[in-house]
Structure 1
Amino acid sequence: MSCPDCFRGGVHAHSEPTGTIETVHGMRTYIAGGSDSARSKSTILYLPDAFSLKLVNNKILADQYASATGCRVLIPDVVPNGGLSPDLMPSMEIAMAPLEKRTVGGVLHKIWITLTLLPHVVPFILFGRPHKVYSQILAYARAIKAELPLGGKLGVAGFCWGAWPSTKLCTEPATEGGSERLIDAQFNGHPSFISDTPEMVVDAIKKFKVPYACAVAEIDMQFNAEVAAKTEALVKQETAGASPGEYIYDFRIYKGCQHGFCVRAMKEDEANFQGGRDAAKHAIDWFNKYLN
């Protein structure tokens, strides 16, 4: 499920997006890179957090991936209702921050802020789950895979909300009933919705032997260091007896980092901001290794 930290963070202002918005297979899509097929023929499907294309951070990160890998990076506007507004994040910070002074005015202000958030956050929690639009994501991913040039591969990156579908896509064939895998490499950061289903992660790794990486926030209400350790232990158990390198996975713990660090950490928050930079390199190295 979603947690309050799914709606916290800040808007990045250190860069401007360089990609374009176009309609791809019937879906509004942010497109970064991909103009130099001599460098890479592959595509990365970027499945965003709850803020989707409304949060410039997602576009900036997609640009970084495209620049560093040469891959085309696509962010489909697939989050229900276009995602939440980033304007909610400052209010969420106030609502979640501890009261420094327990004055009547301070308590009432926190209650008021919380009440203003509920009409936005509660419907998203109830009706904005990725499960509800997964069939659209699958159809989109298969269409992208089908149009790749010879030698091109399809990677997927999922953050928070997007990590559940990025994991699920690893279990899918490229065509309905086919035997070729859809996804050639997967990366996710501070995932939501998969902490209670470690068997889903096992299936994502085992079924088509997709290289699977996860950037784990040490401090997370959902997929934290403890959950990651249990999940990795189950993966090891279920793949015992396999030859070296047959199943490829990397659960990397980012010490001191919190949920959202890959996308929404602010520069003044040194631990999370540096964690986000390190996770970006983690993803770039992963995709360069398995897509190019």
Structure 2
Amino acid sequence: MACPDCFRGGKAVGDPTGETTTLYGLSTYVASPPSTSTSQSTIILFTDAFGLKLVNNKLIADAYAVATGFRVLVPDIIPGGPMSPDVMPIMDKVMEPVSTFDILGQAARVFHTLRALSYFGPFFWRAFPSSPACTTPCLDYARNVKADLPPGAKLGAAGFCWGGYQSLNVCAEPAVAGGTERLIDAQFTAHPSGLKLPDDLVKAVTTFKTPVAVAQAENDFATKTKLVEDSEALIRQKVGPGNGEDGYYYEVKIYKGVAHGFAVRAKPGDAKEADGADEAKAQAIEWFKRFL
């Protein structure tokens, strides 16, 4: 599941405009829509491994709320807490090119690798995305939000990296255990991690005909693009082109020349990743506006 880009990237510049409160027993960042919005639909944003410790996730929630007119909830839901952003510059050191014959450089790389392992080793021990320790609280949270929505309001799910597994997983779950009503009314994920493909993507689309959008990084080493493309082809064989035929909606966009994490943590100075992040944000906003 993991790749170096899971723990690298840039910190966004900006001041979040939402507020943090407690919802369903979890600290939750709430990005509210403009006062002119009349919609009561809600989006749950399941973050990357850095959670609410990384301001990028809050700023994305703010952008979604303003552009869609929907409330956006970002729960602090990663078991044991999110990864510290302090690991990002350490991973940059690990990934710096070093000559084979540069003894001091190789020694420094080993040192920084061990430092990085001290961060993400414990993280994956407690918070591997497909483990029940992660999936159960995410499902419970989504069901609680859905149950409290007023009549006619809809629920969307967005997920990045670690959270991409969660947002797709809840698409295959009913609103109530044992029920037949879908839990999620529209889903967007960018560079999801930990997926079992094609099964997880097929289930997300077909179980309850949930509209599913995917932003896939071309150079993603956590979830191989070929597997995503093959999964999309299988879905097309099963249910059609995803344009509403028989009630199925899905889209997969491949973002050329970018790596895992681009939609949340575009690397400083990388214009292609910055543009890709903007395009992925627009993809998500249009998808949610269409279906929520």
Q: TM-score, normalised by structure 1?
A: 0.94
CA distance in 1, matches of 2:77, 2:146: 17
For residue 266 of structure 1, what is the aligned residue in structure 2?
267
5+ long unaligned stretches in structure 1 = none
Q: Match for 1:30: what amino acid?
A: Y
| Contact residue 54 and residue 82 of structure 1 kept, 8 A | no
* Pairwise CA distance, 1:37: 7.7
1:209-228 to 2 correspondences below 5 Å: 209-228=209-228
The answer on whether the counterparts of 1:187 and 1:212 sit within 8 Å (CA) in structure 2 is yes
Can you give the 5+ residue segments of structure 2 that lack an aligned partner in the other structure? none
Partners of 2:102 and 2:136 in 1: CA distance: 49
1:108-119 alignment to 2 at 5 Å? Answer: 108-119=107-118
- What SS does structure 2 have at the residue aligned with 1:180? coil
Aligned residues between the structures: 289
> Aligned runs of 1:41-52 on 2, under 5 Å?
41-52=40-51
Query: Is residue 211–residue 247 contact of structure 1 (8 Å, CA) maintained in 2?
Result: yes
1:127-276 equivalent positions in 2, closer than 5 A: 127-130=126-129, 131=131, 132-194=133-195, 196-240=196-240, 244=245, 246-276=247-277
Comparing 220-229 with 179-188, greater Cα deviation is found at 220-229
Alignment of 1:92-131 (within 5 A): 92-99=91-98, 102-130=101-129, 131=131
Shifted more, 96-105 versus 272-281: the winner is 96-105
CA drift of 1:153 comes to 0.4
Change (3 A) 1:241 1:71: closer
Counterparts of 2:264 and 2:272, CA distance in 1: 13
Paired with 2:220 and 2:159, the residues of 1 have a C-alpha distance of 16
Verify the 8 A CA contact 1:53 1:82 in the aligned structure 2.
no
Q: What letter corresponds to residue 173 of structure 1 in structure 2?
A: P
1:170-219: CA deviations, max 9, x gaps?
Answer: 0111111211110000000001011x321121111111100000000000
**Partner AA of 1:83 in structure 2:** P
Inter-CA distance 37–178: structure 2 relative to 1 (3 Å threshold): farther
Measure the CA separation in 1 of the matches of 2:9 and 2:79: 20
Query: Quick check: 1:61 aligned with 2:36?
Result: no
Give the equivalent residue in structure 2 for 1:89. Answer: 88
Which has the higher mean CA deviation after the structures are superposed, 263-272 or 250-259? 263-272
- What's the secondary structure of 2:28's corresponding residue? strand
Q: Deviations over 1:150-177 (max 9, x none)?
A: 2210000000001111111001111112
Instruction: Tell me if structure 2 keeps the 8 A contact 1:153–1:184.
Output: yes
Please give the secondary structure, in 1, of the residue aligned with 2:245. Answer: coil
Q: RMSD between aligned alpha carbons?
A: 1.8
After superposition, the C-alpha distances for 1:118-171 in whole angstroms (9 at most, x for unaligned) are: 111111122211222211111111110011122210000000001111111001
Q: CA deviation at 1:241?
A: 10
Q: Counterparts in 2 of 1:9-48, with a 5 A limit?
A: 9-13=9-13, 15-34=14-33, 36=35, 38-48=37-47
Q: Return closer, same or farther for 1:66/1:102 CA change in 2, 3 Å cut-off.
A: farther
Q: Percent identity?
A: 45
Tell me whether 110-119 or 203-212 shows the greater mean CA deviation. 110-119
Q: Which amino acid aligns with 1:86?
A: P
SS in 1 for 2:80: helix
